[in-house]
Amino acid sequence: MDRGGCQMNGGGGGGNGPSDGGGGGGMITLEDLESFSEDQMSDSGNGSLEDEDDDPDRLLHYWQDVARGHQVEVAKEMAEPIQQLTTNNNGRSNREHIPFTLLSRKEKCGELLYEKRHYEKGHWACITMSEETYEQSICYGFMRIMRYICQQNSSGDYLGMSLPIVTVVRTDQNQSAIAQGVTVAYYLPTHHQAQPPQPHDSDIVIEIWPAAIVYTRPFSGPTNELTIVDQINSMAEILESPSVCVNDSFIVAGYTNPAHSQRQNEIWFLERP
C-alpha cells in the first residue's frame, strides 16, 4: 500500500477527500459523533451523556446504521473509539482549528471568491487506502485514523480533535477525474506537534508537511467525485494565475457534519514551491 504523498506541497500519493465517491451522502467523521452527541444531550433534558450508560452500544449502532447506507461496515471494535470521541468532544471549544495566516482575500459584489493563506509546516497523520470504491477508502481510512486519535498510539492518550479533516485529491491533467487511491490526513493538535505520538497501525504515517501557500474557496453541500471536480474547475476559472498552483493535486477540507444538507467545505489549491 502506498502510504506517502499526502503533503501540502502536492507531491506524491493518491487523491482523497472527506467525501463520498458517488451520490449525495457523506462519510462518517468526527463531526458525526459531535452531532449525534449534541442531539442526544438535547433530547435527554439534563445535557448529560451518562444516560447512555444503559445502552453502551447505542453510538456504535448509530454509526453502523449511517455506514450501511454507504456500503461500509463498522466493526464492533470501533465501539470504544466512538465512545471516547463522543465523551471528549462535548463542546465545540474542544476542537482545534489548523492555524494559518490570512494573506489576502478576493471578493466580488460582496461575495468571497477565495482567500490566500499561509500554513506553517506541521505534523500530520496520514493513511492511504485503495478500497473498491472511493467512499469506502475514505470511511475505512478515517476509522483507522480515529483509532489512532483514541489511544491506539505510543502515548496511550486521547489526542484531541482538529479541523478541518483534509484529503488530498489527485486528478488527471485535465482535472476531469479523481484517482481511486485516497489519503485521509489529520493535523496533530498543537500540544502534540513537538513530539507526535506514534501510531500502533503501521499503515498510518506521521509526516511533516512543509509550509505552504494555499488558495482556498468555500463551498457547501455534499462532497463527492462530481462536486469536487466541479469545484476544482470553478476555482481554476476564478484564479487570475492558476498556473502558479499545482495542477494535479488538490485538497478538500471538511468542517461540518456531512449529514447536514449544507455541509461546510473548502477546496484548496497549493501554490507551487
Tens of pLDDT along 2-25? 334 445 654 333 333 333 333 333
The pLDDT tens digits of the residues spanning 58-71 come to 888 877 887 776 67
**Does pTM surpass 0.85?**
no
Q: Residue 105: which domain range? A: 96-270
pLDDT at 206 over 50: yes
Which grid coordinates are listed for 229?
471536480
In a domain, residue 86? The reply is no
Minimal CA–CA distance to 221: which of 263, 170, 180? Answer: 263
pLDDT single digits (tens) 106-147: 999 999 999 999 999 999 999 998 887 667 777 788 889 989
113 within domain boundaries: yes
pLDDT at 1: 39
- Specify if 59 maps to a domain: no
For residue 69, being part of any structural domain is answered with no
CB 60 within 8 A of CB 81: no
d(CA 84, CA 59): 11
What are the strands of the beta sheet with 264-270, ordered from one edge? 101-108, 111-119, 212-220, 264-270, 249-254, 165-170, 182-187, 122-129, 205-209
Question: Over the chain, what is the mean pLDDT?
Answer: 78
Q: Which residues contact 238 (CB under 8 A, 6 or more apart)?
A: 106, 113, 114, 217
Query: Is 102 a member of any domain?
Result: yes
Is residue 87 assigned to a domain? no
Closest CA to 6 of 202, 197, 177, 210: 210
What mean pLDDT is predicted for residues 218-238? 89
In a domain, 154, yes or no: yes
Cβ(13)–Cβ(1) below 8 Å = no
**20 part of a folded domain:** no
Count of domains in the chain?
1
- Give dist(CA 33, CA 31) in Å, integer: 5
pLDDT higher than threshold 50 for residue 220: yes
**Domain of 135: which CATH number?**
3.20.80.10
pLDDT at residue 116 in the model? 98
Model pLDDT, residue 222: 72
